[in-house]
Amino acid sequence: MRVPFIKMHGLGNDFVVLDARVDAIPAMNDALAAALADRKTGIGCDQLILLEASTLADLRMRIFNADGGEVEACGNATRAVGLLHDAPTRIETLGGVLTATPADLGIAVDMGEPRFGWDEIPLAYAMDTLIMPVGWEDLENPAGVNVGNPHAVFFVADNHAIDLARLGPLIEHDPLFPERVNVNVATVTSRDAISLRVWERGVGETRACGTGACATAIAAMRRGLCDRRVTVTLAGGPLVIEWNDAGRIIMTGPAAESFRGSFDPADYGATL
């Protein structure tokens, strides 16, 4: 039997979506997820998304990075799943229950409340997370934010001048971050605009990262660098991030379906 999939993306951050509520799906593990994500020998994606039944929400979304590791949250994937349902949808994740709603600019996602405690990021030891007293060569004094997954946010004069391919993995795997970390390098261009590049743990630099845009906007707001509603522009395009009066993060942006197909699990050493 072949397993159907949907290929989707949010601003170029791409996903393979499998729906275990509808079809028989092989038991997912890191090896199978990594094999399907491989761009040369698999289907190819930044993240593999597995949809399951939920007792807490309309559905459960499991997220596997390209290296096969399961992670807590993915803002772009949440918008993609919201697009599939085309109606307000509550989505259970390891990072909490998120709500995706159709909006004028695409899909609006209530990402919940950000967390700032050093043990909530998490870090290996206590420190101020607004201006962390640490640095890696050209990148110093990040802000730590957890928006369902861990982020370190660096503000620089020109984020395109940073060698993120070299510094990203160095920071991602630093012992300071026991669960590794997503590395965001941002340049604030006005009170309502930020330019952003993101090194995603287990993936590398991506064209877009929804949780990275949220974490970066919140860090900039906490430091007084921008207003409570800001457009964050990544290589794949813009996301609008608002930190509302209730303390919740609302992320709005597009998502799209690329194509549909199927695969034989035996090709990847799996069975139904």
Active site residues: 74, 209
Residue type for position 166: R
* Residue in the structure block whose two tokens are 């007084």: 224
Please say whether the dihedral angle defined by the alpha carbons of residues 165, 169, 172 and 174, taken in this order, is positive or negative: negative
Q: Regarding beta strands 204-206 and 182-190, do their DSSP bridges make them parallel or antiparallel, or are they unpaired?
A: unpaired
* 88 close to 100: Cβ distance less than 8 angstroms: yes
Tell me how far apart the alpha carbons of residues 184 and 200 are, in angstroms, rounded to a whole number. 8
Percentages (nearest 5) of helix, strand, coil residues in the chain: 20, 40, 40
* 151 close to 122: Cβ distance less than 8 angstroms: no
